[in-house]
A and B are shown apart, each in its own frame.
Chain A
Amino acid sequence: MNRVHLPRSLEGAWEILDRVPEARVYAGGTDLFVKLQGEARSRAVLVCLERIRELRGIRDAGKHVWIGACTPYTEILSDPSVQEHFPVLSDAIRKLGSPLIRNMGTMGGNICTASPAGDTLPPLYILEATLEIRSHSNTRRIPVQDFILGPGQARLEPGEILSGIEIQKGHPYPVHFYEKVGQRQALAIAVVSLAVMMRLSEAGDIEAIRMAFGSVAPTVVRPLPIETQLAGAPLDEKTLREAGAMLQAHLFPIDDIRASARYRRRVSANILQRLRLRGKASMKDSHRFGP
């Protein structure tokens, strides 16, 4: 019996999902086939989404950009509109896995896996991305932070497929960056990660900022009180040290094979100092290239 399906349309996928409710979908397989090995793999009913046109590609829709959930990372990285409007996302994707993983892996897979260490999640939280979820009879939209419930848990009903990620353009934050602390450069799962978008005044103070941390709690942490606190503050060592202390109340890290909870707390606070470096670099850039 054929248990692995390769539909070419969503209609084709639903035909199988309606008939075999326990069927599992996958895109790049870079999470699924690490877990699903041997006997379990040969027994599973699987629906590979990689050939479904409706789930792939990147469209600039004017106010927002739509990214097909099953678009491989390598394609996203070569897209000019993602690079131009969401550098924090490109930055994170460039640090995800290895080129081989990026040739196969997708944002849809990263989001549905809902790992606290998922590298695309902190950027999607601060970009306030909306997920488009389709079932045979319905399409719904949900903010990314409402979709993810905990490690490996997402608000996805049987028969639903994450079809696309919508991100609004025109965020008034010129400085974007993603910091990832892992055990080595390539192929490292984050021990702590931080996505930031900020705007500085001419004097170099923080005017507005959004930030989200990965790997420090069951889900991504976006500490809104700290964003508020930092708005209007000078971008100096002392401000960021205080922010790092305040941050501790928002973190719920665990000990695991990659790092201890204590280490994650410490690094989360220290990594905030990178804001100064990135801020300075951006001031220099705007001085050089600015009006």
Chain B
Amino acid sequence: MNISFHLNGRPVTVRVPSGKRVVDVLRQDLNLTGTKEACGSGECGACTILVEGRARLSCLMLAVQLKERHVVTIEGLASGGLLHPVQEAFVEYGAVQCGFCTPGMILAAVDLLKRNPLPSGEEIREAVSGNLCRCTGYARIVDAILAASRRMARGKKR
């Protein structure tokens, strides 16, 4: 069947067999391999995407559920050649090692900061508690999100 939706700001239409998961459509049909799959069962958060601005797990969704929705994957976060402040902070704070968790982690953080622009460290840890990282030990991830939140809040005031 044909499914039309907005992906990273552009309208797309894909032809997919019904029953195909969102993560497979993104990676296989649309060549957007930034979205990762590890567990395939909701436990790791590597497959996180934003649907209508909300972080969701693309391994537990079928493609048809994207119909007419606005979807953002990690590929769509930078704009005009500039990284998103959360991406920038991840680079700056060394919050990336192997990088497998990074797309999901960043999108979960973007969802958080939209609802809660100045979260505490505790709130950040809670917000990314569904995103597992095997490498960093989380400290730098939390620091990066904290720094990004301050920078974004300052940016808004100006």
Residues of A bordering B, CB below 8 Å: 1-6, 28-30, 33-34, 37, 41-44, 46, 48, 50, 74, 97-101, 103-104, 185-187
Contacts and interface: CB of A to CB of B under 8 A. Distances in A.
Contacts, number: 87
Contact of A101 (B40, B42, B127): B42
Given A99-B127, A100-B42, A50 B65 contact: yes
Interface string B129-144: 1110000000000000
8 closest A-B pairs by beta carbon, nearest first, are: A98-B130, A186-B129, A42-B19, A100-B130, A4-B18, A33-B60, A3-B18, A34-B41
B7 interface: no
B62 interface: yes
B48 A100 contact: yes
B57 interface: yes
B60 A30 contact: yes
A52 to B, nearest CB: 13
Given A29-B60, A34-B60, A100 B20 contact: no
A43 B19 CA distance: 8
Place the interface of chain B in its size category: 20 to 34
Contacts of A2: 1, 18
B18 A187 contact: no
B61 A29 contact: yes
Nearest to A44: B19
Nearest to A39: B19
A100 B45 contact: yes
B43 interface: yes
A29 B41 CA distance: 10
B129 A34 contact: no
A103 B41 contact: no
A44 B60 CA distance: 15
Interface of B: 1, 17-21, 40-43, 45, 48, 54-57, 59-62, 64-65, 67, 108, 111-112, 126-131
A281 B24 CA distance: 49
Contacts of B56: 100, 103-104
Contacts of A44: 19
Contact of B130 (A1, A33, A187): A187
A1 B18 CA distance: 8
14 contacts: A3-B18, A4-B18, A4-B19, A29-B60, A33-B41, A33-B59, A100-B42, A100-B45, A100-B55, A100-B56, A100-B131, A103-B56, A185-B129, A186-B129
A108 B20 CA distance: 24
B129 to A, nearest CB: 4
Contacts of A48: 62, 64-65
Contacts of B54: 74, 103
